[in-house]
Amino acid sequence: MKRNFSATRGFTLVELLVVIAIIAVLAALLFPAIGRGKAKALQTPCMNNLRQINISVRMYADDSSDAFPPATNHPPASFTAYTVLLKSYVGTGASPERARLFACPADTFCYTNVGDYVYQGLHQQARFYYSSYGFNGGNFSAGNPPAARWPGIAGRKLTSVREPVKTVLVLEFAGLYPYSWHEPVGAWHYNNAKDMVSFVDGHVSFIKMYWDATQPPNRIEAWQYDPPAGYDYKWSGD
């Protein structure tokens, strides 16, 4: 008896290439969305950290005759030494270097003073007091005779700040330069880098930071001048 067997038809090379091309297109569309979702997820705990730190700084001021932490010379301590003063306010029972409150989860890289990329977060480094977040303390004294050359609110009375809704209190340290941990572009300074910022009035926002590339070498960082109109923050308490 003769039997007929129907042969099983497989994919042709052209069909296989078409399927691969479709998968590649879908992956190209999907991966950026996944990356944006991951970046957004890292912003939430960072925002919560800044809210708690903001409250702690205000509690410190309440116990210090309404004054913010005093000015400390020699950056980066002028921006991060405040963490030591908050030890009894952060509610962790730990010293700052062991308090996750001061570690932004997106803080996985930084730059040296010459702009070289470093695969290490600021919260892992002793010279930054193990903190990802900087206090608006740029008004430290410098020069001869010593004088406060740049804006900031270190040592000022909370009630002396004229625009608390726009005046920076504590922010991601990257915003002082500025660059961004959340939307990096591979540059040490660049205009409109987006960073998480908390303000004297207590709110926290993810905003653009201004950088003036025309400034001379001794004024190249964002914290050294208030931004022009159109930005949602300022460093000065006046």
Under 8 Å between Cβ of 131 and 107: no
Q: How confident is the model at residue 51 (pLDDT cuts 50, 70, 90)?
A: very high
- Let me know if residue 230 belongs to a domain: no
In a domain, 233, yes or no: no
- The pairing of strands 204-209 and 147-148 is unpaired
234 located within any domain = no
232 lies in some domain: no
CA dist 155 and 172 (Å) reads: 20
Q: How many separate domains does the chain show? A: 1
Q: Is residue 54 part of a domain?
A: yes
Max Cα distance, the chain (Å): 112
Tens of pLDDT, residues 100-151: 899 999 999 999 888 899 999 999 999 999 999 999 999 998 878 888 889 9
3 state SS of 85: helix
- Give the structural domain span for 188: 13-224
2 inside domain: no
**Mean pLDDT over residues 140-166, rounded?**
92
Q: Is residue 22 part of a domain?
A: yes
